[in-house]
Structure 1
């Protein structure tokens, strides 16, 4: 009975790792690269690179004035603090086109370092990994169903690996490719157990959200009776001072400016005492006309449902500890992607050495493709569809 049970779980493990391996590998690879998406943009976009300053940084008002001068006549939509030292601050400007224009600013002086189009590496990796360039309501559930395969692979891998806890420091054996690939697969699987579980759980949560189980919106004030006046740098600095007085200890990471429709005022967002929440969890809403504080929300006041929703992104993308955790998540993501690749290799090599193999001379990728069966076509189709839709997304972004 034990042997039959293990054989069943081995079949589950092989099916989960092989049938949709093309699609799984693509999503894992794009997700791994997405961990450092901003850093990749920093490498290819000169205006994002600035020299760190020891002096006091420029005020938010100075950054706003610089952005408004860079794109005359445009509406300032958002301001973002640098994500790491050496990075520029960023403003999103609505110039009337289909997408925002990015303005990069030196956080030390407030000087404009350049402008950049809306579409970049970060947008490509995010939209590909999250919803395959498809409409969000369609693409997100498709991608998130892979979390079910991760759960199946995790459970079946543990069940079929006898005394798995002894294998963390077992050196891979040589001799032949099949044995080496199997040992590397098991070793990488053991060391990435925690990460596989984390990605699977957060992926399941995203699936629940996409199917209607998302947390309720956080509180926000009603729409203002009269439209907000234009906000220049001096006015913004006064509003920031009022916001910090109402929420001492708030580290402002983002400022959202009044919108033409549904104007609720100016919003300061950032980090404070609550751990593992997005910037939006801590917010101060202000009336630009009189400078009064309309509402203060704090991460520690969220409901359990909202707190779980807020935790998902920092845990999934590894932003909870800054650059250090990003490195850990990137390495773990490479290991998880390698598991998808080595699993297919193991299948192909095992089939090559099996007795009665109808095509012993077939190439490895041919054996793997045949092993995927009919599932290979929708898996490959989803990958190609995402890539085909990419040029249209870039052109639509202006």
Structure 2
């Protein structure tokens, strides 16, 4: 292909679903720092003693004293210890988020399922449109790969633009927008490649899930023949003690009680692995006796399983402290600007031949914008409430 043909392909790829790509970049950037946005918005999201170990027994005692008759669904202490520990609670047959200081168990506040982090995650993940929305969003990875491949072919001797001073930005001057588009695109190229590859995995994963092809570690065989025990499920503190005895190097950050008697308690944590999400390391426990049914270690994962547990931390930069999340957010903002600049450049390029902005945007652009507005409304209303399990195998506090 000639340079002109590569340019036309590059321009088409950027315009065809440019609005959707822009919205996905913006929502993803905000989602990266969504918990930090909550942290700044309300004191209940802020831990007090961020450098101390998690006191799960104290957390359970606080919940029992403040919410008698409730049951714990899930406990999570974030990787960023400055964030409050979250407890998902079944209280009066309704869902409730409770926020506590992980080190002391001190109550910090409560809230519903609807919150900034949940809203942004749902909208970014699938526009709250289920299977179709997930397909739309993940398919953008193909577009990104197309842009990544064509960019060096469009801009010959592209390396010369790394330190070229761009012109002052003018809303009506296409060449000025092009200068910034090239400069920021070059410096963000590595990030765009990461987003394209992780997005491509999400697309593959969506296909595997749709086809019901197993692609993750199977639960331990002991779960299939788990002995059913009557009695009170073990306490949160005992859960953690049993898990740490079975997996001494596990730094427990999450506990999930099962929704029926055929499932196990899952204890999740870190094990000094690099680029693995929380569920990569876990211990399965029998809910009543606390007997160990299985141990999964991130270091033992196969390549396919490791890719699955690496995609999220790499996509959102949530694999270290605040520093990596800020780096991801900055480059996410640059990527959003690049998308927006590409749309402006395309409009300015065809403005003389097609002076109508609406005609340039086209039927597909209008339809896509309407879809995005609809998805915003659906996201808002769909996460107003969350149902709780009818049966929960957890202690009644």
TM-score (norm 2): 0.88
Q: 1:227: how far off?
A: 4.7
Q: Which residue is equivalent to 2:298?
A: 299
1:18/1:371 contact within 8 Å kept? no
2:233/2:288 contact within 8 Å kept? no
- 1:246 and 2:252 are equivalent in the alignment: no
Q: Deviations over 1:160-209 (max 9, x none)?
A: 10111121111102496222111000001101111111111111111111
Q: Deviations over 1:270-319 (max 9, x none)?
A: 11143222211111122343333221110111122111111111111111
Q: Deviations over 1:18-67 (max 9, x none)?
A: 1211111111100110000111122223312243367x545211112212
> Using a 3 Å threshold, how does the CA distance of structure 1 residues 370 and 285 change in structure 2: closer, same or farther?
same
Q: Which residue is equivalent to 1:162?
A: 156
CA–CA separation in structure 1 for the residues paired with 2:41 and 2:85: 16
Match of 2:183 among 187, 197, 213: 187
1:19/1:372 contact within 8 Å kept? no
Q: 1:374: how far off?
A: 3.0
2:216/2:305 contact within 8 Å kept? yes
CA–CA separation in structure 2 for the residues paired with 1:175 and 1:381: 30
1:41/1:121 contact within 8 Å kept? yes
Q: Secondary structure at the match of 2:248?
A: coil
Q: Which residue is equivalent to 1:123?
A: 118
Q: CA RMSD in A?
A: 2.2
1:79/1:90 contact within 8 Å kept? yes
More displaced 10-residue stretch of structure 1: 4-13 or 210-219 = 210-219
> Using a 3 Å threshold, how does the CA distance of structure 1 residues 215 and 378 change in structure 2: closer, same or farther?
farther
Q: Secondary structure at the match of 1:294?
A: strand
1:77/1:91 contact within 8 Å kept? yes
CA–CA separation in structure 1 for the residues paired with 2:123 and 2:169: 39
Q: 1:259: how far off?
A: 2.6
TM-score (norm 1): 0.88
- 1:109 and 2:104 are equivalent in the alignment: yes
Unaligned runs of at least 5 residues, structure 1: none
2:47/2:84 contact within 8 Å kept? yes
Match of 1:387 among 354, 376, 380: 376
- 1:267 and 2:263 are equivalent in the alignment: no
Count matched residues: 379
Match runs of 1:1-398 below 5 Å: 5-52=2-49, 57=53, 59-95=55-91, 97=93, 100-135=95-130, 137-174=131-168, 177-212=173-208, 215-220=215-220, 221-222=222-223, 224-227=226-229, 229-231=231-233, 235-264=235-264, 266-352=265-351, 354=352, 357=353, 359=355, 366=357, 369-397=358-386
> Using a 3 Å threshold, how does the CA distance of structure 1 residues 89 and 192 change in structure 2: closer, same or farther?
same
Unaligned runs of at least 5 residues, structure 2: 388-397
CA–CA separation in structure 2 for the residues paired with 1:289 and 1:173: 68
